[in-house]
Amino acid sequence: MPVNLPLEERILVLAPHGRDAEVIEQTLGSQGLNCAVCPDYSVLLRELATGAGAALITEEALANADFSQLHRWVEQQESWSDFPFVILSARQHGQERNPVLDVLERLVNMILLERPVNAETLLRASVSALRARRRQYLSRSHLHERARSEEHLRLALHAGHLGSWSLELDTLILIVSETCKVHFGISPDSEFTYDDLLSAIHAEDRQRHLDVIEAAMLSRDDFSIEYQVVWPDKSVHWVQIRGRTVHDRSGVPVRMAGVSLDISDRREAENRLLESQSALQQFNETLELRIEERTSELAQANDRLMKEMAERERTQIALVQAQKMEAIGRLTGGIAHDFNNLLNVIIGNVDLIERLSSDERIKRMAGSARNATKRGAKLTGQLLAFSRNQTLDLKPVDIEAVIEGMKDLIAVSVGSGINVAIDIPTSLPRAVADANQIEMAILNLAINARDAMPDGGNLRIEVRQRHARDGVLKAGTYVVIAVKDTGSGISPDIISKVFDPFFTTKAVGKGTGLGLSQVYGIADQSGGLARIDSTLGNGTTVEVWLPVLSAMPLREHYQEMLDQPLEPKESGHILVIEDDDQVRQFIVECLEILGYTVEQAENGWFGLEKLHAGNFDLLIVDFLMPGMNGAEVIAAARERNPHLPIIMATGYADMQAVGKVIDLDAVLRKPFQISDLASSVKRALRADIVR
């Protein structure tokens, strides 16, 4: 649309009486405004059709005017236009308002100024009206540019035989062009919904279409898919859909839009080409080519055979290794079980000596024996953890004390060529963890660091209190143990695999690939996680995050129990089933000292017979026994008396089997002291009373 700026910027003036038109033209012209004076109303209407930015009219010029033509002109304005009229009205002096103004106000965009009007007010009103008109011109330009763009797009789509479509994701409202409808065999004037589109897609391709749409909602990249569509006349055609997902400011997908193209001819040409190539290939086949093909097949078969033999050999080696680790685990668990029974007898009797003796020298000697058995108990706990027959015993743990206690062990394990530094701040809160397992994790990390520094280096263990804010861990405070080395580091292509079980970069026979996976498992079961950061050639840092819990008093648990006086005499009828004579005798004597009536059995069968014949308040049973294990005894006992309180006293157990028949809180771990036994019995009997 052509634009005449001088005409569109001018102000039409209609003031036929006196010198009003001359004064208005001089006032506005002094400020650079272009005015065109109209001698009468008909000239004003003609000039409006020619073009103007605003009109300034005196009230008396509209007397007896026919507004029908003006009304038609106003109604015929384009959507962007709202032509401004500035009306100069006479002061009324108490009279009613001129009805002409009311009519005009309903017809046009009117600015009313009451005379007398000073030059400044007249100028401002005219400039304001012209400024509003200029904004309308700007809207016109935008609309014309948009119309040109849409026309160009329409021509481009038409030239490329492309259809356009858009899909609102929240309402599944589909808007398609006429060409797009044609691609699906639908007439341009017919309705076409998203359900209609899904129904038109061939059954073989419908799920693939849904999968592509679902993936595209999560991506900001273009997507493309080709599938078959079935037209209403049952003919099958090929359509290509290309598009992109539109997201809002928060990243939520709100709309998809794109184009469609009928590619049936191209697909048919491709099929014909493939058929021609296949026919040509068959035609050109010769005896020599068939011999080469057969030779190649034999070579491939031989390669497959060799690969299968190598794979079978690797599988056999892995199976032997797994059987060996399983056998070692079972042997280790059995040895730990026997040691636990021995330690239980020793630590229990030492506890009785300490409590009952008044001789300070004997009590000191008993204390030394107790410390030795405590170290033995820690060793058996580590053996059981290795054999995977012990769940984590999560308690508030003083990490500083744990690391300080194993400082010498770390130094010996890594060797003299590696400098070990430990940095732990004071007043560190306690963490929820299993002390034995944390020791094992730190030792594993130290040994891994040693292997990464064959020529020596620096090993640094840091402990810090940090807050988790990344969304991976539950928000809160954690104690973070960082083990840092200056070794060879880990390449980026394998760092994501280091926590996988059995993954190792060490030579065959130098590692099982379980060290870092055990560290990750220990951290995860404790409510935290393990993280690794490494740069090839610049060392490795492994962090173990453990949740913080309110700390217990700093004295050891055994000392806390030792300081407490013996409980007053209790009462109750208890059955003890334990295959080890000495352990069973110790438990019986302790319970009798505590005031309970006790019966005993050396295996599960005899124990169940006594349980069936008598009336007992509590059952204490070992796990690893000949004939029937503790879990089987508990299951049989529950069938006879579902409400009987039961304690499993064991140092070695299949905790999955135990968890099926008894609450793990009712497990008394060997070796234990008389105070531990008394507390467990009292808690079990009290729970029965509450129930």
Segment among 33-42, 83-92, 209-218, 310-319 with least mean pLDDT: 310-319
Indicate the residue type of 593: I
pLDDT of residue 323: 55
First to last CA, the chain: 92
Residue 598: beta bridge partners?
Answer: 574
Q: With contact defined as beta carbons under 8 Å apart, do 449 and 487 qualify?
A: yes
Nearest CA-CA partner of 530 in 545, 541, 547, 548: 545
Arithmetic mean of pLDDT, 510-534: 77
Rounded to whole angstroms, the Cα distance separating 430 from 194 reads: 59
Mean pLDDT for all residues in the chain: 81
**DSSP letter, residue 59:** G
Sign of the torsion formed by the C-alpha atoms of 640, 642, 644 and 648? positive
Rounded to whole angstroms, the Cα distance separating 18 from 58 reads: 11
Whether the pLDDT of residue 43 is over 90: the answer is yes
162-168 and 173-176 beta bridge pairing:
antiparallel
Q: What is the CATH number of domain 557-690?
A: 3.40.50.2300
Q: Concatenated DSSP letters for 175-200? A: EE-HHHHHHTT--TTS---HHHHHHH
Phi-psi region of 636 (alpha: psi -120 to 50; beta: other; left: phi over 0): alpha
- CA angle, 376 then 381 then 382, to 5°: 100
Rounded to whole angstroms, the Cα distance separating 608 from 485 reads: 57
Rounded to whole angstroms, the Cα distance separating 134 from 137 reads: 5
HEC per residue, 483-552: EEECCCCCCCCCHHHCCCCCCCCCCCCCCCCCHHHHHHHHHHHCCCEEEEEECCCCCEEEEEEEEECCCC
> Which residues, in sequence order, are CB contacts of 357 under 8 Å at separation 6+?
363, 366
Q: With contact defined as beta carbons under 8 Å apart, do 468 and 545 qualify?
A: yes
pLDDT of residue 690: 45
Residue 55: beta bridge partners?
Answer: 12, 85
For 574, list phi and psi in degrees, rounded to 5: -120, 140
Q: With contact defined as beta carbons under 8 Å apart, do 108 and 54 qualify?
A: no
Q: What is the CATH number of domain 5-148?
A: 3.40.50.2300
Tokens of 558: 């055994």
Residue pLDDT, tens place only, 287-342: 777 788 888 888 888 888 888 787 677 556 545 544 554 555 556 556 666 666 67
Tally of helices (H runs) and strands (E runs) in the chain: 22, 22
pLDDT of residue 483: 94
Residue 543: beta bridge partners?
Answer: 482, 531
Indicate the residue type of 302: N
Rounded to whole angstroms, the Cα distance separating 180 from 168 reads: 17
Q: With contact defined as beta carbons under 8 Å apart, do 637 and 614 qualify?
A: no
* CB environment 200-218: b (16+ within 10 A), e (fewer): bbeeebeeebeebbeebee
Residue pLDDT, tens place only, 615-664: 999 999 998 888 888 889 999 998 888 889 999 888 765 566 676 777 76
Rounded to whole angstroms, the Cα distance separating 11 from 27 reads: 12
Segment among 113-122, 269-278, 365-374, 414-423 with least mean pLDDT: 365-374
**Number of Cβ within a 10 Å radius of residue 598:** 19
Rounded to whole angstroms, the Cα distance separating 642 from 665 reads: 17
For 365, list phi and psi in degrees, rounded to 5: -65, -40
pLDDT of residue 37: 93
Rounded to whole angstroms, the Cα distance separating 573 from 641 reads: 15
Q: With contact defined as beta carbons under 8 Å apart, do 653 and 666 qualify?
A: no
Sheet of 35-37: strand order equals 35-37, 11-14, 54-58, 84-89, 109-114
Tokens of 554: 């700093």
CATH: 3.40.50.300, 3.10.580.10, 3.20.20.100, 3.30.565.10. Which one for 399-547? Answer: 3.30.565.10
Whether the pLDDT of residue 201 is over 60: the answer is yes
253-262 and 236-247 beta bridge pairing:
antiparallel
pLDDT of residue 392: 66
> What confidence tier does 147 reach under pLDDT thresholds 50, 70, 90?
confident
Q: Concatenated DSSP letters for 76-98? A: TS-TT---EEEEEEPP-TTSPPP
Residue pLDDT, tens place only, 237-253: 999 999 999 998 888 99
Nearest CA-CA partner of 480 in 535, 518, 425, 537: 425
Question: For 160-270, which CATH superfamily applies?
Answer: PAS domain (3.30.450.20)
**DSSP letter, residue 566:** P
Q: Concatenated DSSP letters for 301-333? A: HHHHHHHHHHHHHHHHHHHHHHHHHHHHHHHHH
Nearest CA-CA partner of 634 in 656, 600, 662: 662
Q: Where are the domains of the chain?
A: 5-148, 160-270, 399-547, 557-690
pLDDT of residue 623: 86
pLDDT of residue 556: 41
Q: With contact defined as beta carbons under 8 Å apart, do 452 and 428 qualify?
A: no
Arithmetic mean of pLDDT, 130-146: 90
Fold agreement (5-148, 399-547): no
Rounded to whole angstroms, the Cα distance separating 82 from 91 reads: 27
Q: What percent of the chain has pLDDT over 70?
A: 82
Instruction: Name the residue with higher pLDDT: 603 or 149.
Output: 603
Residue 444: strand, helix, or coil: helix
In which element (H, E) is residue 268 found?
Answer: helix 264-283
Tokens of 635: 């299951």
Phi-psi region of 93 (alpha: psi -120 to 50; beta: other; left: phi over 0): left
Q: With contact defined as beta carbons under 8 Å apart, do 607 and 566 qualify?
A: no
Rounded to whole angstroms, the Cα distance separating 50 from 132 reads: 19
pLDDT of residue 379: 59
Indicate the residue type of 138: L
> What confidence tier does 558 reach under pLDDT thresholds 50, 70, 90?
very low
pLDDT of residue 333: 59
Continuous H helices in 99-232? 99-107, 119-159, 178-183, 194-200, 203-217
Tokens of 224: 């493309």
